[in-house]
Amino acid sequence: GSARRKWKCFKALCCKGPPPPRPEYDLVCIGLTGSGKTSLLSQLCSESQENIVSTTGFSIKAVPFQNAVLNVKELGGADTIRKYWSRYYQGSQGVIFVLDSASSEDDLETARNELHSALQHPQLCTLPFLILANHQDKPAARSVQEIKKYFELEPLARGKRWILKPCSLDDMDAVKDSFTLLIHLLEERELEPSRM
Which residues, including other chains, have CB under 8 Å from residue 133's CB and lie 6 or more apart?
99, 101, 141, 142, 144, 147, 164, 165, 166, 167
Binding site membership for Mg(2+): which residues? 38, 55
Distance CA 190, CA 158 (A): 20
Distance CA 37, CA 122 (A): 23
Pairing of strands 58-64, 69-75: antiparallel
- Determine whether 58 is exposed, middle or buried from the number of CB atoms within 10 Å of its CB (0-12, 13-18, 19+): middle
Cβ atoms of 119 and 126 closer than 8 Å: no
Q: Is 192 helix (H, G, I), strand (E, B) or coil?
A: coil
Binding site membership for GTP: which residues? 31-38, 77, 134-137
With CA atoms as reference, report the closest residue to 40 among 98, 112, 111: 98
Binding site membership: which residues? 31-38, 55, 77, 134-137
Distance CA 133, CA 41 (A): 14
